Amino acid sequence: MTEILATVIFLFSLFFLLGSSVWVGLSLIGVAWLGIELFTSRPAGDAMITTIWTGASSWTLTALPLFIWMGEILYRTRLSEDMFKGLSPWMRWLPGGLLHTNIAGCTLFAAVSGSSAATLTTVGKMSIPELRKRGYPEYMIIGTLAGAATLGLMIPPSLTLIVYGVSINESITKLFMAGVIPGLILSLLFMLYIVFWYFYFPNERPAEEKSIGIIQMISESKFLLPILALVIIVIGSMYFGWATATEAAAVGVVGALTLAFSQGSLTWKTFSNSLMGATRTSAMIALILMGAAFLSLSMGFTGLPRALANYIDGLNLSPIVLIASLTIFYIILGMFLDGISSVVLTMAIVEPMIRQAGIDVIWFGIFVVVVVEMAQVTPPIGFNLFVLQGMTKHEISYIAKTAIPMVALMVLMVIILVIWPELATWLPDTIRQRGN
């Protein structure tokens, strides 16, 4: 009975605060404070101070602001222009032509950013005008960009995976490695969608791109070398065990500063703006994490997570049915909350459930990222939709319609992960074997 009452109070208080436009982090802290006061004899202030300090002083969490800063620095360079120059010679011969630069560009920038919004803005500010100028259909330009930008949540360094890892106390490096293969497969699915459009709607094809020689293609590739080198250094150092996620992030920041300096983009204004942008984003995420840690403690006192896990276990649901239910749950939740908030808000309850069901927590992290990716392009609170609205001046409803095929492909990616879970676990297992 106590668990039922606690559930009602927690949910009512949380939705009331969120509906009142209170910051997510403060809403979580407020609900947790109420739970401590109502259901325990422990002083709420002491519990909050201890829990928040413990959650905020995690060494693993230091990777978060560093990776955010790396992305902020690169966002303010000429990276988008250079990426388009370097990618377009190799993409133009594919069925669908330069539309593939949306996918390839987002995949590449995601490997140094970790942010969906930064990926979308960086790639979009160059690709949208260029693709419009060449006569590509508007719905394909916007739809492919909206979907591909979500790869910033999957391909390492993913901010969502860092938050997930901190929430369940799991290795960030293993989670990063788990996201590589699924991220590349999702990129391939997006590109296959463009190929399908090319052959199924021949009347919508723009004029054929002017062919260029292999020498010129190789010459244009020089624009990609700096960003490729940075990707290899950051991800490679973690894969081979030369650096932890935090150390790789520090190396990435130095590399991003070097790249910006070599391009002539590193001015005092660029440096200070990138630092302040990273500080604001990091502070926002840290507040959410601190609130989530306090809420987890509060719910733990009520026994709610354990009771719910035991209840789900008593239903004897198969892991596949449980995953299907959680997919629907996260899609609905993602319509109202951003990905990071969805993860930290639910982990206290969901983690015991998946462990009890015998689901691999590394695999589940990739699953969660895929389903919260959908939240970036589903109304009413799809963040990528608002970013694209600012860039293209289209209505939210139009942008959401163009992204429907990409959402369908993300659902397909969930099915692929369920059928072949090794896609997410093989690389982390390889890392574990190297460590042994």
The pLDDT value given to residue 67: 81
Q: Which residue has the higher pLDDT, 216 or 96?
A: 96
pLDDT band at 415 (very low <50, low <70, confident <90, very high): very high
Looking at the structure of the chain, the number of domains it has is 1
Torsion 247-249-253-258 (CA) sign: positive
Could you identify the residue written with the tokens 């100028």? Answer: 133
Average pLDDT score over residue span 72-92: 76
CA distance 105 to 228: 12
The pLDDT value given to residue 400: 86
**Nearest 5 degrees, angle CA 362-CA 67-CA 183?**
45
CA distance 184 to 104: 10
The verdict on residue 16 lying in a domain is no
The pLDDT value given to residue 87: 78
Q: Which residues contact 321 (CB under 8 A, 6 or more apart)?
A: none
Give how far Cα 295 sits from Cα of 35, 271, 389, Å. 8, 36, 35
The verdict on residue 17 lying in a domain is no
The verdict on residue 206 lying in a domain is no
Q: What is the pLDDT of residues 21-56, one digit of tens each?
A: 777 778 878 888 877 777 777 777 777 777 777 766
Q: What is the pLDDT of residues 239-287, one digit of tens each?
A: 777 888 788 888 888 888 888 888 787 888 888 888 888 888 788 777 7
Mean pLDDT, the chain, as a whole number? 80
Calculate helix-pair angle for 319-334, 404-419, nearest 10 degrees. 160
Q: What is the pLDDT of residues 205-235, one digit of tens each?
A: 887 766 666 676 677 777 778 888 888 888 8
The verdict on residue 207 lying in a domain is no
DSSP string, 302-335: HTHHHHHHHHHHHTT--HHHHHHHHHHHHHHHHT
The verdict on residue 39 lying in a domain is no
Question: What is the pTM (predicted TM-score) of this model?
Answer: 0.80
Question: Is residue 433 over pLDDT 70?
Answer: no
Q: Which of 115-129, 136-150, 191-205 has the lowest mean pLDDT?
A: 115-129
Domain limits for position 159? 2-11+25-34+45-201+212-435
For residues 191 and 100, the answer to whether their CB atoms sit within 8 Å is: yes
pLDDT band at 436 (very low <50, low <70, confident <90, very high): very low
**Nearest 5 degrees, angle CA 139-CA 191-CA 420?**
125
The verdict on residue 40 lying in a domain is no
Q: Among 181, 177, 123, 178, which Cα is nearest to 150's?
A: 123
The verdict on residue 195 lying in a domain is yes
CA distance 192 to 200: 12
For residues 100 and 114, the answer to whether their CB atoms sit within 8 Å is: no
The verdict on residue 77 lying in a domain is yes
Calculate helix-pair angle for 100-113, 225-239, nearest 10 degrees. 50
Q: What is the pLDDT of residues 13-27, one digit of tens each?
A: 766 776 677 777 788
